Homo-oligomer: A and B are copies of this chain.
Amino acid sequence: MAELKIELITIGDEILLGHTLDTNAHWIASRLTENGHRLRWISVVGDNASDLRHQLRRAWNRADIVLLTGGLGPTHDDITRPIIADFFDDNLIPNPELAERIRSRFVGRGLKPPPGCHLLAEFPSRATPMPNEHGSAPGIHYSLDDHELFAMPGVPVEMKGMLSDYVLPHLATIRSGVFGYRILRTAGIGETRLAELIGDRERLSPATLAYLPSVDHGVTLRISCTGADTGEIDQALQKAEDYIRSRVDSHIYAAGDEPFEKAILDMLEERNMKLALAESCTGGMIASRIVSVPGSSNSFERGFVTYSNRAKTELLGVDENLLQKHGAVSAEVAAAMAEGARLKAGVDIAVSVTGIAGPTGGTTEKPVGLVFTGVSDGDGCEVQRYHFIGDRDANRRRSAQAALVMLWRRLKDVLPQTGVKV
């Protein structure tokens, strides 16, 4: 029942030079944790054959599972494939099936396969290719002596697809001991306050609880447990989930992997309501989050990115006098934007945001980070005021989340679904 020892090797000068923040490592660590694994080491080496070779040897010796990202592409600084093959005393041989897959990716889009792309089909003879849904370079999987190595591309979308579709399912099959977890997703409440409300962790035993906060998508709760069989684990997890729900159920929007936007769109669909958005400082970020959900067109009608005052007046009918009197960043304008968006779009509910994202544009009275969100529906209009303390990006992300939380609460508490129970 020993835990798998997992090491991640990230390859890339760009990280060591400080050009790129290693978000891949962070994403991989999060996904492993969510799936009940624990990353034990992260090692970053440059595009340097000798350093990679040394790290590979060390990782293979100390870890059960070695994950690599980076250096799998077709250019000269992509050294991972030959070095891995060499490390396992293996050869790169042309793989016709891979060559055809790579060629057809280009041809299928009416493109000529670029020179050098045939190199990608030279594959270690004893490894298994991991399919790459989002790019040309296949991943490399070696399974030897109860050890596993998974080499993935460094391009985030390619790495993410491969980890989700291949590596995590594979790890689930070789896990030692029975392990289970459940995910509960919360919105609109911080980690500290959640911990206060949940209180005594002993009540959850034998399950344990982890808080996974994020700057702009709420706090995720992970309940996990190890045991003799799945029945025993399910029982322990259910007991812990029941207890947690008895304390903080009103803050939980979903169980499992469902994103917040999806939960909101489902609620809109259940209520047969259409949504419009009016965004100023978030500048399309809320719309983009909503549209990230497949099928969002069922409930999302349109968005207004009214960045200028003229746009607020022309598109949303916000009174110029209101803008003059209270300023664009005010409760009054947030309300007028939400109402205007709802009426102009001819929809059932609309959400607005106006704020000062920074770094400039703040005053003593209206500092950077001051944000108003509004929601308007047939029953009325609500406005909330926030003061975020972060950089432009963080303030915009938090504003978008705050607006979505407001919409969610309005749907949940004020506009309960009629007919069917939610």
Contacts and interface: CB of A to CB of B under 8 A. Distances in A.
- Give the most central of A23, A109, A287, A360: most B CB within 10 Å: A287
Interface in A29-77: 29-33, 38-47, 51, 58, 73-77
B305 A222 contact: no
7 contacts: A17-B181, A282-B288, A284-B287, A284-B288, A287-B287, A294-B357, A305-B305
A391 interface: yes
A415 interface: no
B192 A75 contact: yes
A284 B295 contact: no
Nearest to A17: B33
Nearest to A201: B76
A301 B311 contact: yes
Interface string A308-323: 1011000100000000
B157 A192 contact: no
Contact of A302 (B74, B110, B306, B392): B306
A340 to B, nearest CB: 13
A416 interface: no
A206 interface: no
Nearest to A30: B18
Contact of A210 (B14, B32, B282, B290): B14
Interface of chain A, main secondary structure: mixed
Contacts of A345: 311
Contacts of A157: 215, 390-391, 393-394, 397
Contacts of A260: none
Interface residues of A, number: 113
Contacts of A133: 390-391
B18 A32 contact: yes
Given A29-B16, A42-B43, A114 B77 contact: no
Contacts of A296: 283, 307
A222 B300 CA distance: 42
Contact of A44 (B41, B45, B284): B41
A53 to B, nearest CB: 13
Contacts of A16: 29, 38-42
A26 interface: yes
B294 A283 contact: no
A281 B296 CA distance: 10
Given A155-B213, A287-B287, 12 more contacts: A17-B38, A19-B33, A19-B212, A20-B212, A41-B51, A74-B191, A74-B192, A283-B303, A288-B396, A291-B305, A295-B360, A301-B310
Nearest to A359: B294
A125 interface: no
A273 interface: no
A297 interface: yes
A155 B294 contact: no
A394 B135 CA distance: 11
Nearest to A212: B14
